[in-house]
């Protein structure tokens, strides 16, 4: 096993698949000291749930911090049990002999502050009241996330961060790392990201937030764990999911195929239609209408089933208040504004070597926004380069299998400055 933090007797090298991180276990880092957030509110302390893979070297300088995106978490590689069929979200990139090579590197990934997968966030109990924070939770920023991660790395004994690495919101954190801790952060690898969103990306987040805020179950953010605005959260996720893909990839995956086109197949997604949908499909009772769906209402595109499945599975693992908080943090992220007006000025402190990777079909944080980061770094006299990968898989390209990406990541991490 490659997880230095694990001492469980379940661990046995023979259990790990060749090239796989294998069994991993999340841990909790509890920082007991007060933490002042950018909005002025002070948390009395906080917890970050995290995982590590590989071993920290004696010099403490081989750590890679993986920063996750909006809907990600600390579990970015390996499996949680031998029956676990779904490895961590970046398992294709991270492992022994992979692009982020755990034979050489000590990989750390933590659920962000404000998150809902074990780290302190709106679902956590506010010690001042004994009830969940809800809206009393500070309005966390990307910088708050980064500063809380620094406490974790200090705790783990990391002396020098080899690389801050992430895609999408993870890329924002990686950039912020270089600004906040210039002497500590040796390399930055940011993918499919932006130094600030444009109006369209803000607009999509705003619609998602409104779907949650307007759901009566949201109740001003006061709801029991597992309850809350599930409908609003599912709508937000369905819409956001479209922005993570591309027109071309959706057409290839679904086109206009209807569920009944698939030979002998029920929809991959929810087997039983929900009541509202069933009604819409024509199975209503007393309106004088036929009791069976009519031909025109029978249309049921595969992409519809797929999206509904995405929405449903998301609400079983994510918290609506965290969705509000984290999208707000993303929308508020603006390095130029916080750097005194220009991106170049914001990057003045950076000492890290930076690689930014954009994807041609990413229309959420399009290539020009990725490129602008590198241009500003270069104008500021920094060591920075930009790589653009031609894919038609959209924003989520950074998460998907790509030997080209693996080669870039591996070469960048291994290169000596």
CA–CA gap between residue 235 and residue 377 (Å, rounded) = 38
- Shortest distance, position 125 Cβ to its own copies, whole Å: 12
Give first-to-last CA distance, the chain, whole Å: 30
362 catalytic, yes or no?
Answer: yes
> Is 251 an annotated catalytic residue?
no
Q: Which is nearer to its own copies, 74 or 143 (CB)?
A: 143
Least Å from the CB of residue 382 to its own copies: 24
Question: What is d(CA 26, CA 88) in angstroms, rounded to the nearest whole number?
Answer: 11
Q: Which of 249, 362, 397, 402 is catalytic?
A: 362
Which residues does residue 35 pair with via DSSP β-bridges, in sequence order? 43
CA 361, 364, 366 angle in degrees (round to 5)?
A: 55
Q: Sign (positive/negative) of CA torsion 42, 43, 44, 48?
A: negative
Cβ at position 246, least distance to its own copies in Å:
8
In the bound state with its own copies, the residue whose beta carbon lies nearer, of 312 and 410, is 312
**2 vs 361, which CB is nearer to its own copies?**
361
CB 225 within 8 A of CB 132: yes
Smallest gap from Cβ 47 to its own copies, in A, equals 19
Nearest CB to its own copies, comparing residues 329 and 409:
329
φ, ψ (nearest 5 deg) of residue 164: -100, 125
Residue 309: CB minimum distance to its own copies, A = 12
Nearer residue to its own copies within complex by CB, 282 or 349: 282
CB of 155 to its own copies, least distance (A): 26
For the chain, the maximum distance between any two Cα atoms, rounded to a whole number of angstroms, is: 78
CA atoms of 21 and 2, how far apart (whole Å): 6
User: Which of 71, 124, 148, 168 is the catalytic position?
Assistant: 168
CA distance 118 to 273: 32
CB of 160 to its own copies, least distance (A): 31
Closer Cβ to its own copies, 53 or 218, answer by number: 218
> Sign of torsion, CA 289 294 297 302?
positive
CA gap 340, 333 in Å, rounded: 14
At its nearest, how many Å lie between its own copies and the CB of residue 165?
A: 26
Residues contacting residue 142 through CB under 8 Å, at least 6 positions apart: 169, 172, 173, 176, 329, 330, 332, 333
Nearer residue to its own copies within complex by CB, 32 or 275: 275
Give the active site residue among 124, 144, 395, 396: 395
Annotation says 155 is catalytic: no
Identify which of residues 62 and 305 has a Cβ nearer to its own copies in the complex. Answer: 305
Q: What positions carry a catalytic annotation?
A: 168, 362, 395
């Amino acid at each position: 096993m490659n997880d230095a933090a694990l001492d469980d007797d379940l661990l046995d090298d023979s259990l790990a698949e060749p090239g796989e991180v294998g069994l991993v276990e999340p841990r909790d880092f509890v920082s007991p000291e007060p933490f002042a957030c950018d909005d002025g509110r002070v948390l009395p302390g906080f917890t970050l749930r995290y995982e590590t893979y590989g071993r920290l070297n004696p010099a403490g300088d081989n750590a890679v911090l993986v920063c996750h995106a909006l809907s990600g978490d600390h579990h970015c590689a390996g499996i949680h049990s031998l029956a676990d069929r779904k490895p961590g979200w970046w398992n294709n990139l991270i492992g022994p002999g992979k692009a982020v090579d755990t034979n050489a590197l000590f990989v750390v990934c933590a659920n962000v502050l404000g998150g809902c997968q074990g780290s302190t966030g709106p679902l956590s109990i506010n010690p001042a009241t004994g009830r969940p924070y809800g809206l009393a939770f500070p309005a966390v920023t990307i910088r708050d996330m980064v500063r809380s991660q620094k406490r974790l790395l200090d705790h783990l004994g990391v002396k020098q961060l080899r690389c801050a690495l992430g895609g999408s919101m993870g890329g924002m954190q990686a950039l912020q790392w270089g600004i906040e801790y210039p002497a500590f952060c040796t390399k930055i690898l940011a993918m499919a990201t932006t130094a600030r969103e444009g109006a369209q990306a803000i607009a999509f987040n705003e619609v998602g937030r409104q779907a949650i805020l307007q759901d009566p179950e949201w109740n001003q953010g006061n709801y029991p764990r597992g309850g809350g605005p599930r409908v609003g959260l599912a709508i937000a996720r369905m819409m956001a999911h479209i922005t993570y893909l591309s027109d071309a990839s959706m057409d290839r995956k679904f086109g206009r195929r209807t569920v009944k086109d698939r030979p002998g197949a029920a929809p991959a997604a929810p087997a039983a239609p929900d009541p509202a949908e069933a009604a819409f499909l024509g199975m209503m009772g007393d309106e004088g209408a036929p009791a069976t769906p009519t031909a025109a209402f029978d249309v049921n595109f595969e992409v519809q089933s797929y999206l509904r499945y995405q929405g449903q599975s998301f609400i079983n693992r994510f918290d609506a208040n965290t969705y509000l908080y984290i999208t707000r943090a993303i929308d508020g992220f603006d390095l130029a504004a916080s750097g005194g007006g220009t991106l170049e000025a914001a990057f003045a402190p950076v000492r890290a070597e930076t690689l930014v990777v954009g994807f041609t079909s990413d229309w959420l944080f399009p290539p020009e926004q990725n490129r602008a980061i590198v241009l500003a770094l270069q104008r500021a006299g920094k060591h920075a380069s930009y790589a653009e990968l031609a894919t038609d898989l959209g924003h989520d390209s950074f998460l998907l299998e790509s030997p080209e990406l693996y080669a870039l990541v591996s070469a960048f991490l291994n290169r000596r400055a």
